[in-house]
Amino acid sequence: MIGTVARIVLGALFLASGALKLRDPSWPGAARAMGAPRWSVPLIAPVEIVLGAALAAGAVRPWPAWLSLGLLAAFSVALIRVLRRPVAERPACACFGRWSARPVGVGSLMRNAMLAGLAVVALL
C-alpha cells in the first residue's frame, strides 16, 4: 500500500514537473545554465511526463521507479556541480518551471533526496 502511494505521488510530481517545464518558455535557458547538454534539453520534460504517467499508472513495474532513481541521480549530479560554484554564480533551479525558479541551494539537493526516497519506497 505505501509503495503504491509513493509511486502515485512520485508520478504526479514528475508529471507536474514536465508539464510546468513545457509551459515555461524560459526553461530551456535555465536548463542550459544548470549545465544540461544542449541535446538533452528538449527531451527532459517529455521524459518526465512519460515517466510520471508510467509511475502513476503502475505500468511496467518496477522499471519506472528504477528509471526515476536514475534520472534523479543525474539531476543531483547537476545540482552538486552547480553548488560548487560561488553563490553569486548559481543559476535558478527551474525544476518545476517558473513556479520554482529560485537559486540552487542545498534544499534543491535535499528535495531530490526525498524524491529518491519515494522512488525506493515505490520499489517495495
124 residues of the chain, pLDDT tens digit each: 888 999 999 999 999 999 999 999 988 998 998 889 999 999 999 999 999 999 999 988 899 999 999 999 999 999 999 999 998 888 888 788 777 778 888 998 999 999 999 999 999 8
**What pTM did the predictor assign?**
0.90
pLDDT at 115: 96
Q: DSSP assignment of 106-123, as one string?
A: HHHHHHHHHHHHHHHHHT
Alpha-carbon distances, residue 123 vs 26, 38, 61, 104 (angstroms)? 34, 32, 8, 29
CA distances for 75 relative to 11, 52, 90, 113, 118, angstroms = 16, 16, 15, 11, 15
Q: Which of 99, 101, 86, 107 has its CA nearest to residue 29?
A: 101
